[in-house]
Amino acid sequence: DVLEEMEPQTQIHIIESLPVDKVADLLEKMPADEAADILDEIEDDKAELLLREMDSESSKEIRELLEYPDNSAGGLMTTDVFSFKPGLTVGEVISELRQKKPEPSELYTLFVTEENDRLVGTFDLRDLVVSEPETHLNQIMRSDPVFLFDNQKIDDIAETISKYNLLAVPVVDRDNLLQGMVVVDDVVEDLINKRRTYKR
């Protein structure tokens, strides 16, 4: 948690000072998008060494994120999202969320997907709270959700979030398969960094 909040140069300094196995353990515990941001800042050889040291699932997820350009929806998105099948009830979803104890940002928007993670709708915590436990998700979900393609640029992302007043937006590929979500905080941070770079 501390490493996530540090400035990039401090993160790199700590990573460079620790053994590879310790760094790999740290990165595995971080959200994949945060770990990808750190690895993007260090030398390719060191990043590859760390990726090989990590468990295969974490490594695969981070590698996929690193393939996206920094200023794209794919490059900004988090893959820590919750998706559910449309036939589940509100009670079943609440029970699952209680068990998994998600981070607050993971609850900004919740997703409904069908086969192969195809996005078919979204809902939020309010929808769950005001609905009866036996209500099915396909009865409360928004079936025409606002979304971003994974290759859309940051200006498009900012415009979409501003236009619809959203805290988070789902990110899909060209087959409408859910890839993750972009959180408004990350977009604001990226725009600020972009502006600082421009001023320099």
Of 105-114, 118-127, 148-157, 179-188, the least confident: 179-188
Residue 198 has what pLDDT? Answer: 46
**The pair of three-digit structure tokens given for residue 86, joined into one six-digit string:** 């449309």
Residue 96 near residue 73 (C-beta atoms within 8 A): no
Residue 175 confidence (pLDDT) above 50: yes
Distance CA 17, CA 181 (A): 32
**For range 83-93, the mean pLDDT:** 98
In percent, how much of the chain has pLDDT > 90?
A: 72
Mean pLDDT, the chain, rounded, equals 91
Residue 192 confidence (pLDDT) above 80: no
Distance CA 171, CA 150 (A): 6
Distance CA 71, CA 45 (A): 23
Question: Which letter does DSSP use for residue 132 in this model?
Answer: -
Of 31-35, 110-114, 141-145, the least confident: 31-35
Residue 189 has what pLDDT? Answer: 67
Residue 31 near residue 3 (C-beta atoms within 8 A): no
